[in-house]
Amino acid sequence: MLCVVLVVAGITMATWTTGVTSRDNVFATGDLDLIIRNEGSWVWDEHVHATWSATNMYPGQDLGMGAVHFINSGSFEGQSFDLAVSNTSTVADMDKFIEITHMQYENGKGHNMLDGHHLHDVNLNGWIDLDDLESQPQLALSAPSTTGALYMRYRFHPDAGNQFQAASVTADFTFTLHQ
Ligand SMILES: [Ca+2]
Ligand SMILES: [Ca+2]
């Protein structure tokens, strides 16, 4: 059995604080608080573990669309947003065969991450995949002002060989909002 588990986890809460204290002055600080929810869920949570998964995958199979939604519930507007992934493959380099066929970041405006200006085929296998995203975290994107979303679609690449039978990839996504 071939399978891929795409875990959306590790939400980073960015908190703005100041250590300055002086007599008779008060410096009040605000914060950034990034929370997410799964597609199909109404619950916003800092500790959501959204799981995009596919089992019994075969080479060439479309793995469908996954979505995760964001909201900044803090008192500051976020200035920038980072998106990173860390992959664990049970058979080496399997993440290179999880092709990303669609990747759209929405924050009031749609950003096609496959437009040639964001994600590149850095491992030079001819397609954009989870390994490319792992080595190119998408940093300093414009922040989700109130809400935002990430939509991704995957395909198990047709060139995947028999070495990946009974193997799996786990991809942990981390989203960071900066003041
Ligand atoms: Ca590639
Ligand atoms: Ca990798």
Query: 137 C-alpha to center of ligand 2: Å?
Result: 12
For residue 102, the CA-to-ligand 1 centroid distance in Å is 14
Using one digit for the tens of pLDDT, what is the confidence trace for 22-58? 333 333 344 556 666 655 666 666 555 555 667 778 8
Q: Record the pTM.
A: 0.78
Q: Is the pLDDT of residue 131 over 90?
A: yes
Which ligand has the nearest atom to the CA of 125? 1
| Over residues 149-166, mean pLDDT | 87
Q: Produce one character per residue of 92-114: b if its CB has 16 or more CB atoms within 10 Å, e if not.
A: eebbbbbbbbebbbbbeeebebe
| Residue 26 pLDDT | 38
159-168 tens-digit pLDDT: 988 888 878 8
> E strands within 18-79?
34-38, 50-54, 62-72
